[in-house]
Amino acid sequence: MAFVGKGGSGKTTLSALFARHTAARQGGPVVAIDADINQHLGMVLGLEEGELPPPLGSHLTEIKEFLRGANPRIGSAAAMVKTTPPGRGSRLLALDPADDPIQSRFSATTPEGLRLMVTGPFSEDDLGVACYHSKVGAVELYLNHLVDGHGEYVVVDMTAGADSFASGLFTRFDMTFLVAEPTRQGVGVYRQYREYAADYDVPLAVVGNKIHGPDDVAFLREHVGDDLLVCLEHSAAVRAMEQGRPFTLDDLEPANAEALAVLLKHLDGREKDWDRFGRQAVEFHLRNARAWANRATGEDLAAQVDPDFVFGPTRVSPHR
């Protein structure tokens, strides 16, 4: 699942709170990924600068080399772009770090036992379609090769700009929570995102944030309608945490804690649609190939699509 929204809306805060809430409630593996332009998630999850994991975006070649495995359709890491889908022979990933060399090498464990991976810093320019070295592309590759199951969670903290639609990343989630402040800008980002989401059957729900009272809720309800799932109040506990005071989930206001539970329930209510997941992986790859990747690699990347590969739990490869 992903939290998206405009800068400052609260994506990173909610990603961290939700990841902690989910780990505490479910006990299963929770991986948090920082793919936001401003890389803050590690800090909010309680990691010091020196404790951050090696950034995925600086190790693209190594990651591609690992993922392509013995897939005969991908001749080299250089021919692998961010949308290159897995095929027979590719190495698939599980959420258990013992079973996933990518996660064990590129994650750090937070004080509460969550796993954090980070893209590393990037800029607006890195989000466009014609970027061969896209750092966020590392996340797309990771998710495309991941076979997740019930009770396993990946929480991605993600920048939502118009150009995030150039890649297939926004279609990789079973649920996308759009974080919106009760302002015209907040609902503007929602409108733009909803249009794309609807074209691709991307499940989307709006989370109101920094709510100060009933007028704020009414504003969001008016502009967002039924897509408004739940609201979080402006939180004194979050503010105190930002001021460096010790924070546990128990410090959160009951209404905000309840809102996190609503998010988790909403997410758990979705069955993963592996058909859509696989279909769109291929669709975006073909589009990417035509738009720039064939030219960039000097190959016909449509040939990387393995028509007999089935996305989903039947295909976990033993690679230990």
Contacting residues toward ligand ADP, per CB under 6 A: 5, 7-13, 36, 40, 209-210, 232, 234-235, 238-239, 242
Cα-based distances in Å from 312 to 19, 20, 147, 163, 316:
23, 26, 6, 28, 8
**How many C-beta atoms lie closer than 10 Å to residue 74's C-beta?**
27
Q: Is 318 helix (H, G, I), strand (E, B) or coil?
A: coil
Token output for 255 = 């209404």
Q: How far apart are CA 296 and CA 119, in angstroms?
A: 22
**Residue 232: which of ligand ADP, Mg ion, none does it interact with, CB under 5 to 8 A by kind?**
ligand ADP
Return d(Cα 168, Cα 156) in angstroms, integer: 14
Closer residue to ligand ADP, CB minimum distance, 9 or 304: 9
Residue type (1 letter), 186:
G
> Closest separation between CB of residue 181 and ligand ADP, Å?
9
Minimum separation from the CB atom of position 207 to ligand ADP (A) = 10
Report, in Å, the least distance between residue 173 CB and Mg ion: 17
Question: What is the C-alpha to C-alpha distance for residues 217 and 222, in angstroms, rounded to an integer?
Answer: 9
Q: Residue 10 touches which of Mg ion, ligand ADP, none (CB < 5 to 8 A by kind)?
A: ligand ADP
For residue 2, the partner it binds in ligand ADP, Mg ion, none, with Cβ less than 5 to 8 A by kind, is none
Q: Is position 34 an interface residue for Mg ion (rule: CB under 5 A)?
A: no
Residues 37-96 that bind Mg ion (CB under 5 A): 38
Candidate list 12, 22, 176, 209; residue touching Mg ion; CB under 5 A: 12
Give the residues across from 129 on adjacent strands.
none
134 binds Mg ion per the rule CB under 5 A: no
Return the number of the residue (38 or 248) whose C-beta is nearest Mg ion.
38
Question: Distance from CA of residue 112 to its chain's centroid?
Answer: 20
Question: Shortest Cβ distance from residue 237 to ligand ADP (Å)?
Answer: 8
Task: For Mg ion, give the closer residue by CB, 42 or 53.
Answer: 42
Of the candidate spans 6-14, 52-60, 182-190, 298-306, the one that interacts with Mg ion by CB under 5 A turns out to be 6-14
Choosing from 3, 6, 35, 36, the residue that interacts with Mg ion (CB under 5 A) is 36
Beta bridge partners of 178: 4, 206
Q: CA torsion 44→50→52→53, rounded to 10°?
A: -170
**Which residue pairs, CB below 8 angstroms and at least 24 apart, start in 218-226?**
219/182, 220/180, 220/182, 220/186, 220/187, 223/187, 223/190, 224/180, 224/187, 224/190
- Residue in 35, 81, 64, 146 with CA at minimum distance from that of residue 288: 81
Residue 151 contact partner, candidates ligand ADP, Mg ion, none, CB within 5 to 8 A by sort of partner: none
Rounded-to-5 percentages of helix, strand, coil across the chain? 50, 15, 40
110 counts as binding Mg ion under rule CB under 5 A? no
The distance of closest approach from Cβ of residue 260 to ligand ADP in the complex, given in angstroms and rounded to an integer, is 11
Shorter beta-carbon distance to ligand ADP: residue 68 or 210: 210
Which residues are at the interface with Mg ion (CB under 5 A)?
Answer: 11-12, 36, 38
